[in-house]
Amino acid sequence: MVETTRGPTLEPGLRGLVTDLASDQRAFKNVPWSKAMMWLFLLSDIFIFACFLVGYMQVRITTTVAWPNASDVFALELGGRHVPLLLIAIMTFILISSSGTMALAVKFGYEQRRLATGGLLILTALLGASFVGMQAFEWTKLIGEGVRPWSNPWGAEQFGAAFFLITGFHGTHVSIGVLFLIIMAVKVMRGSLAAGHPGFLTRRRGRYEMVETLGLYWHFVDLVWVFIFAFFYLW
């Protein structure tokens, strides 16, 4: 692979945008193609989640029945006190923390610090897994209280459908992310990225940029949760 046209010859700003897009071979300078492809995948994912959230907005606007109060629905009884949205708040902080550890993992990856990177990836995976665990707890609690995609005890029937679809799709993303974090942690720990060993599936040589590409996915999962937290739980 020829890695040329780097460095100080690249123009910044708007002129750079024009020359980049008009240039031969590569429009996205200074970006490995795997990272550019991850960005394009995330772009498509943005549209999927946006369609779900807009659909949720639509059913919530159009229903003539009162929408269940999320603050009460997701409240927990703690020592006899009624704490609104407690579990959701904890989940939010856990996911933000996992994003923080992921960002540090990417940084230490580029510094070739194998143990720090692998450890942080494992920590990120653990935080992600605990997030999924809490979501499973939340689903169990709500199903036990009689929430179904077609009905619930508190109000508009569409509440259950929107809840299970949106949080389920997000939880699936987190679960897949945890899987890939574990795979990447193993690769980092055994030195496959530093040595440039080919991967077991694609045979592409290991590089520490892979950690950043995986990081993009993980931060995106956190990003989607920011919107779900605001629109579904707080609105």
Partner 1 sequence: MAHGETQQHPIGIYLWVWFLLFVLSVGSYLVDVVGLESYLRWTLITLFMLLKAGLIIAVFMHMVWERLAIICVVLVPPGVLVFLMLLMAIEGNHVLLSRLAYFGP
Token pair for 54: 């807009």
Q: How far is Cα 211 from Cα 224, in angstroms, rounded to an integer? A: 20
Strand partners, 83: 76
Q: How far is Cα 170 from Cα 224, in angstroms, rounded to an integer? A: 8
CB of 93 to partner 1, least distance (A): 6
Of 52, 68, 102, 129, which lies in the binding site for partner 1, with binding defined by CB under 8 A? 102
Residues 41-100 that bind partner 1 (CB under 8 A): 42-43, 46-47, 50, 54, 57-58, 61-64, 71, 84-85, 89, 92-93, 96-97, 99-100
What is the identity of the amino acid at 122?
Answer: I
Q: Where are the alpha helices (DSSP H) in 74-157?
A: 86-110, 114-144
Determine, following the binding rule CB under 8 A, whether residue 198 of this chain makes contact with partner 1. no
Q: How far is Cα 184 from Cα 214, in angstroms, rounded to an integer? A: 8
Q: How far is Cα 50 from Cα 46, in angstroms, rounded to an integer? A: 6
Tell me how far the alpha carbon of residue 82 is from its chain's centroid. 30
Which C-beta is closer to partner 1: that of 138 or that of 212? Answer: 212
Of 139, 169, 180, 227, which lies in the binding site for partner 1, with binding defined by CB under 8 A? 227
Which C-beta is closer to partner 1: that of 18 or that of 143? Answer: 18
Determine, following the binding rule CB under 8 A, whether residue 136 of this chain makes contact with partner 1. no
Of 29, 114, 197, 205, which lies in the binding site for partner 1, with binding defined by CB under 8 A? 29
CA angle at residue 189 from 187 to 191, to 5 degrees? 70
Which C-beta is closer to partner 1: that of 6 or that of 144? Answer: 6
Determine, following the binding rule CB under 8 A, whether residue 17 of this chain makes contact with partner 1. yes
Helix, strand, coil share of the chain (percent; to 5): 70, 5, 25
**Interface residue list for partner 1 (CB under 8 A):** 3, 6-7, 10, 12-14, 16-17, 20-21, 27-32, 36, 39-40, 42-43, 46-47, 50, 54, 57-58, 61-64, 71, 84-85, 89, 92-93, 96-97, 99-100, 102-104, 106-107, 110-111, 207-209, 212, 215-216, 219-220, 222-223, 226-227, 229-231, 233-235
